[in-house]
């Protein structure tokens, strides 16, 4: 039923997005159509990456899901940078961190926990990711803010470029560690048991069909995202929203729709290794790859983007990291822990709305 709704949304929403853009329909109507179309397309990206995850395994599957989920936001952010909306881009990065760690993980823990009293995931991965989260958010994001207080704009940008290069290098090293040098070293007991029992799940789509659908959906999202960016200013004025709120809540939710759906689906199937990898792996990819890439991309445009967030953004991100680290470090989850994460997300959402 859900797949049929998303299919209907895709085959109606995408043509309407093209027609509405060419015929200059009212901006609010276009904003709604664009958002719904991107969410529908994201569901196809989620299903395709789920099929690839079955073939490639939970780690690579989670990485693929996070990558293509973040591709939507990366595309929106690049067009936002081109339009000079640096505040929206930084806010959307904040929203992605909060959304993945609190909303995506929270919904996964909560909905999965309603079906299973206790769900387990790889504790070694959880602790490894905790260290990277602490580094990426608390060190790499807080340092530019602290030093920028004593620096002029050119020096702040230079610092941001240096940190961005280091973040990208460390992220690639982390992938090499998990997927090459230490692949299988920290495999969970559940994964080993499943492999020993010969459990095998058939993917919904074959490898090449899934890849083709991913590419087509990504191209369609790129087209719609460019048009979506042009509606932000009007929508903000109409509802009295700030760029910060649009970035933290609206862009982040639309941009991460694929991950939201996929992670919850994995949790319902008790595949918590993949669900956690999507939520936490996506956060790490945002902080250590997407954000640095956007800093470097901004050098091509008139308005440059230093890696400097506002104080509310930093405190919100640091708080979400600390909460997620404390909850996930035991390698187990339940519905109440999920509800705690969701509650933290709504508290921060209210704060950004009223700011």
DSSP state, residue 151: S
Instruction: Report the pLDDT averaged over residues 241-255.
Output: 77
pLDDT band at 201 (very low <50, low <70, confident <90, very high): low
Q: Where are the domains of the chain?
A: 2-354
CA dist 37 and 52 (Å) reads 23
Which comes out higher in pLDDT, residue 85 or 296? 296
Instruction: Count CA atoms closer than 13 A to 224's CA, side-chain side.
Output: 33
Mean pLDDT of the chain: 83
The architecture (CATH level 2) of 2-354 comes to Up-down Bundle (1.20)
307 φ, ψ to 5°? -85, 60
Distances (CA, A) of 54 to 31, 204, 234, 246: 35, 9, 43, 35
Instruction: Report the pLDDT averaged over residues 55-80.
Output: 72
Instruction: Report the pLDDT averaged over residues 21-36.
Output: 89
So what's the pLDDT on residue 69?
66
Question: CB under 8 Å to 269, separation ≥6 — which residues?
Answer: none
Instruction: Report the pLDDT averaged over residues 15-37.
Output: 89
Residue 196 exposed, middle or buried by CB count within 10 Å (0-12, 13-18, 19+) = exposed
Is 244 within 8 Å of 29 (Cβ atoms)? no
Which comes out higher in pLDDT, residue 351 or 139? 351
Give residue-wise pLDDT tens across range 253-303.
776 666 677 788 788 888 888 888 888 888 898 899 999 999 999 999 888
So what's the pLDDT on residue 312?
92
For residue 196, pLDDT beyond 60:
no
So what's the pLDDT on residue 293?
92
DSSP string over 302-348: SS---S---HHHHHHHHHHHHHHHHHHTTSEE-HHHHHHHHHHHHHH
Which comes out higher in pLDDT, residue 94 or 207? 94
CA nearest 229: which of 78, 94, 10? 78
In this predicted structure, which of 77-91, 155-169, 224-238 has the lowest mean pLDDT?
Answer: 224-238
So what's the pLDDT on residue 194?
47
**Percent of the chain with pLDDT strictly greater than 90:** 25
The two tokens of residue 122 are 């790889």
Instruction: Report the pLDDT averaged over residues 114-131.
Output: 87
This prediction has a pTM of 0.81
Distances (CA, A) of 350 to 32, 320, 353: 22, 15, 5
């Amino acid at each position: 039923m859900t797949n049929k709704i998303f299919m209907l949304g895709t085959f109606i929403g995408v043509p309407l997005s093209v027609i509405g853009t060419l015929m200059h329909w009212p901006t609010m109507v276009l904003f709604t159509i664009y958002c719904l179309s991107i969410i529908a397309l994201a569901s196809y990206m989620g299903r395709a990456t789920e099929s690839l995850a079955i073939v490639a395994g939970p780690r690579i599957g989670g990485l693929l899901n996070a990558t293509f989920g973040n591709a939507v936001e990366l595309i929106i952010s690049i067009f936002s940078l081109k339009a000079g909306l640096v505040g929206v881009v930084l806010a959307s990065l904040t929203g992605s961190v909060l959304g993945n760690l609190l909303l995506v993980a929270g919904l996964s823990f909560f909905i999965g926990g309603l079906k299973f009293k206790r769900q387990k995931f790889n504790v070694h991965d959880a602790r490894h990711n905790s260290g990277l989260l602490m580094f990426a958010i608390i060190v790499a994001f807080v340092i530019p803010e602290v030093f920028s207080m004593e620096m002029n704009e050119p020096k702040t940008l230079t610092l941001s470029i240096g940190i961005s290069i280091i973040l990208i290098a460390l992220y690639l090293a982390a992938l090499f560690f998990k997927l090459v040098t230490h692949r299988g070293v920290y495999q969970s007991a559940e994964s080993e048991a499943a492999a020993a029992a010969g459990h095998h799940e058939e993917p919904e789509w074959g490898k090449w069909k899934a890849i083709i659908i991913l590419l087509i959906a990504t191209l369609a999202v790129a087209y719609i995202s460019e048009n979506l960016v042009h509606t932000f200013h009007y929508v903000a004025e109409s509802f009295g929203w700030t760029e910060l709120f649009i970035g933290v809540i609206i862009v982040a939710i639309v941009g991460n729709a694929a991950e939201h759906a996929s992670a919850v689906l994995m949790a319902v199937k008790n595949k918590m290794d993949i669900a956690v990898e999507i939520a936490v792996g996506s956060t790490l990819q945002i902080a250590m790859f997407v954000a640095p890439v956007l800093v470097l991309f901004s050098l091509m445009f008139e308005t440059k983007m230093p890696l400097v967030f506002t104080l509310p953004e930093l405190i919100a991100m640091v708080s979400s990291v600390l909460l997620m680290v404390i909850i996930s470090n035991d390698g187990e989850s339940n519905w109440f822990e999920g509800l705690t994460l969701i509650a933290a997300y709504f508290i921060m959402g209210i704060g950004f709305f009223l700011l």
